[in-house]
Structures are given as C-alpha cells and as structure tokens.
Amino acid sequence: MLNNPFQNALDQLQKAASYLEKDSFSKLEILKNPEKVIEVTFPITMDDGSVRIFEGYRVQFNSARGPYKGGIRFHPQVSMDEVKALAFWMMMKCAVVNLPLGGGKGGVTVDPKQLSEKELERLSRGYMKAIARDVGPLVDVPAPDVNTNPQIMAWMVDEYRKFKNQNSKIKIDKKNEGPEVLAMITGKPVNKGGSEGRTEATGMGGMFTLQAVLKKLSLSSSAHFSAASKVADSATGSSKIGANAPRQLIVAVQGFGNVGFFVAKLLSEKGFKVVAVSDSKGGVYVKQGIDVEKTLECKKKNGHLEGCYCKEGACDLAFGKRITNQELLELPVDILIPSALENQITKENAPKIQAKIILEMANGPTTPEADEILHKRGIIVIPDILANAGGVTVSYFEWYQNRNNQRWSKDKVNQKLKEVMNESVDSVWAESQKHRIPLRTAAFILATKRILSKIK
C-alpha cells in the first residue's frame, strides 16, 4: 500500500531509535506492535428497513503509562493500518504531553454523509455495543475524531450504560450516571458530563504550541533554525521578514472541520492573517484575509466552502478565489496548517511548499520522504504528536473531572492547557537543540524514553 500510515509511523520511530541508549533497543520492539487489535462487524438497520453490515476497529496500542486513550473516526478510508497508525501516534502524543495515558484509536469504515441522522445514531450505538466489553474508564477511553462529535459521544456513553446494566446487578440510572459510566468516553456535550473547552481544545492547543515555538525562534540563532528565525519574532502574529517592517504572519489551513476551523479562528483573533481554508471539496483563497466565522456560515448555507468570500458581515460566492487542496498547500504563506487527513504533504509537493513553518494539526499529514525534503529546505515542522495534543490534554481533564466529580471553568481548562503545551514545547525544543535534530525526532525521543521507562 502506497504511503501506509502505520509504516510511516514506524519509520518515524526508527529515526529516533539511534538517539536512544543501546540497552533500550530490545524494548523498542514492544512499541512497534499493538497490544490488542479488535475488529468487529455489526449490523445496522437502515431507514428503508434493509440491514447493512459495517466494519469497525479498535486498536489498543500500549498501556504502559495508563488506560488506552484515542478518538473514533467515521470515514470511508478507515482501515486497520490507519487505525494502528493513529493508535501508535496517540501513545506517543500522550507521552509527549506527559499524560498518564496510553494510546488507542478506533474507527468505522463508512461515509457518514450518506447516512440519515437516525442511521448515524444506530451506527454509533452499534459500534459501541460491539466494542463495549473492551472499553471502560480504567481500560480504554475513546473520544471524537474525524466525522464524530459530542452528540455521537453522548449516544455512545448511553449505549455503554445499557451494556453495563445488562451485565451487572446494580442498575445505573441515566440521570445518575457516575464516574464508572461518564469517564468511559470524552468529548461529551457539556450538559452530559463533557468538559468546558473540549470542543475547541485541539485548535487552542495548536495555537499555544505555535505561539511557544515562535517565541523560541526569536531567541534562537542556531543555523538549523536560521530560515525560521527570519520568520518570527513574536508570538502575536507580527513578524519581520527580511529588512521590512513587522507584518502579520500569513496562514493557510487545510481542513475546515473541528480542528481546522478553531485553529483558523483562534489564530486570526490573535492577529495572524488567515488567507486560505479548504475542505474535502476544495477551498478559498483571499489575499486580504478571511473572516473565519463568516466563512463557516457561508459553507453551512451553500453546502461548500469553495468561493466563499466574506467581508463586513456579507458573503459572496462570486469573489472568493476557488483553489484546490493541492494549491492551498503550495500557497505563498508563512505558516501552513494541515488539519484534515494523513499523507497530504508528500515527496511530490514538498519541494513546492512555500511556508516556513508547518503546524501539523492533522495526524500524519507529512510522509517520511516529505519530512526529509522539508528538513533539507529549512522548513520547520511542528509535529502532530505535539501540535495537536491539546485535544487529548483536555480529554484527560474531562476524564479527571468525571472521575473526581468536579467541574472546571473554561478559564481554568484553558490555563491548564496552556501550561501543558508550553511545558511540552520546552521539553521537545530542548531535545531538538541538544542533538540538532528536527522537532519530530526530538518529540519521538522524549516520548519513547518516557514510555520505555514504564516498561519493566
């Protein structure tokens, strides 16, 4: 399979291996294999009365640091190799941000856009019923990912409660769900045990990460980062490029779902100029900058993003420049933010990328070959296992609140998230400076050491 994401993940691990102590090599084999893979088929009754069989997966990669943790994806491309890769990256990500969690991931091979609301609910419940005996608050804690959301988490937690009730003498009332049910999944609606700040957490974490890296770059004068030191001198979106006066940093975002929308919105609120966004159908490029929230409204109204040009509260499809996803990746911007799927930046387009910094909000958007090319070109890649770890961090906060019957304010959640992201950037940055290596390899070294130290 071309660009098999799991093979890519193992290649990334291999790069970090040469920086590890020799006596950890044998233990490293443990991290190349998931502890448990679950493959299920389950029936769903469609609205027309027919029955369709769906395939689902849950991969429990490693639990050395704590319960497995990772989202559930509904997408036609979901396969065992993809879910294994995503579970592996979750294991690494939780260790990079130092959470007491392991790595897992799940998915169903389905195009949810072809389902009615009722069919989507039956699919969500059917999948949870199929994996219920393998998950739980201290075992494996799922969350949202591509095409899944708080409502889907609510259906799943309800299905899990039914499973518990069928298998225990003490019945749990829907209105009195305690930690043993609520803490089995994160990303729930706030009125159903979800945490404040979880919906925007991945984008928010990405923003904190980018700000922290920009701050580092202005302090660093090392040769390895020389290209980027031209880019940024502050964490507020203003920069000096060449000898010119400070100007806004220019950003393009691929993917306009939960992660892409929030990272674009939050960065534009901080003074960055977002000039392009895209979704699976294509995108829009507005050199003067995009009104991110209005553009989302335009997409919802018209059913697509292409062409949406919004200014002073009004949107017009005639004015926005339509661009393909490929064109978006190659735009003349300072910061490129892939926020969709794997394998978007490849050896074919890496030589054409004009951004100086890539903030990987999607999981696995850059292939290993592309990584090499970007590195040689002096482009800084802020790796997925650091950049998008805000989501799992606030998921951890949600799990913690559920287990301890607490409710934190949004300010508290965001403040704690900022602390975690800043500390993680500090640690990854230090490792990168120590060995003069890219941030991805540095993050892998840090995570691998932390995981291996828990394996006796």
Find out whether 347 and 368 touch, Cβ atoms under 8 Å: no
Task: Tell which one of 159, 177, 279, 398 touches ligand NAD (CB under 6 A).
Answer: 279
92 binds ligand NAD (CB under 6 A): no
* C-alpha radius of gyration, the chain, whole number: 22
Cα 422 from Cα 204, distance rounded (Å): 12
Residue 343 as a binder of ligand NAD (CB under 6 A): the answer is no
Which residue among the candidates 69, 93, 105, 265 is catalytic per the annotation? 105
Question: CA-CA distances (angstroms) from residue 265 to 105, 259, 273, 277, 435?
Answer: 27, 10, 10, 11, 35
- Count Cβ neighbours within 10 Å for each residue of 415-439 and write b for 16 or more, e otherwise: ebbbebbeebbebbbebbeeeebbb
Q: Is 3 in the site for ligand NAD (CB under 6 A)?
A: no
Active site residue 174: no
The answer to the question of residue 367 lying near ligand NAD (CB under 6 A) is no
Nearer to ligand NAD, 147 or 414 (CB): 147
From CA 353, how far away is CA 277, in angstroms rounded? 16
**Cα–Cα distance for residue pair 104/90, rounded to 1 Å:** 6
**Residues in contact with ligand NAD, shown as a per-residue x/- string from 221 to 260 under the rule CB under 6 A:** ---------------------------------xxxxxxx
Binding mask 281-320 for ligand NAD (x = CB under 6 A): ----------------------------------------
Q: Can residue 42 be called a binding residue for ligand NAD (CB under 6 A)?
A: no
Pick the stretch among 131-139, 140-148, 175-183, 288-296 that binds ligand NAD (CB under 6 A).
140-148
| Binding string, residues 160-199; x marks residues near ligand NAD by CB under 6 A | ----------------------------------------
Chain positions 378 to 417 lying near ligand NAD, rule: CB under 6 A, are 388, 391
CB of 433 to ligand NAD, least distance (A): 26
Using the rule CB under 6 A, is 362 a contact of ligand NAD? yes
Shorter beta-carbon distance to ligand NAD: residue 239 or 254: 254
Which residue in 362, 328, 366, 332 sits closest to 347, CA to CA?
A: 366
Burial of 218 (0-12, 13-18, 19+ CB in 10 A): middle
Neighbours of 20 (CB within 10 A): 16
State the Cα–Cα distance between residues 107 and 112, nearest whole angstrom. Answer: 12
Applying CB under 6 A, the span of 24-32, 221-229, 333-341, 410-418 interacting with ligand NAD comes to 333-341
366 binds ligand NAD (CB under 6 A): no
123, two tokens: 């699919």
- Cα gap 396→242, rounded to integer Å: 42
Indicate the residue among 34 and 391 with the shorter CB distance to ligand NAD: 391
Contact by Cβ (8 Å): 381, 439: yes
Q: Closer CB to ligand NAD, residue 164 or residue 299?
A: 299
The site string for ligand NAD over 146-165 (x = CB under 6 A, - otherwise) reads xx------------------
Q: Cβ(263)–Cβ(339) under 8 Å?
A: yes
Q: How many CB atoms lie within 10 A of CB 312?
A: 6
CB of 50 to ligand NAD, least distance (A): 27
Any idea which residues carry the catalytic annotation?
A: 105
Which residues are near ligand NAD by CB under 6 A?
144-147, 202, 254-260, 278-280, 325, 339-341, 361-363, 388, 391
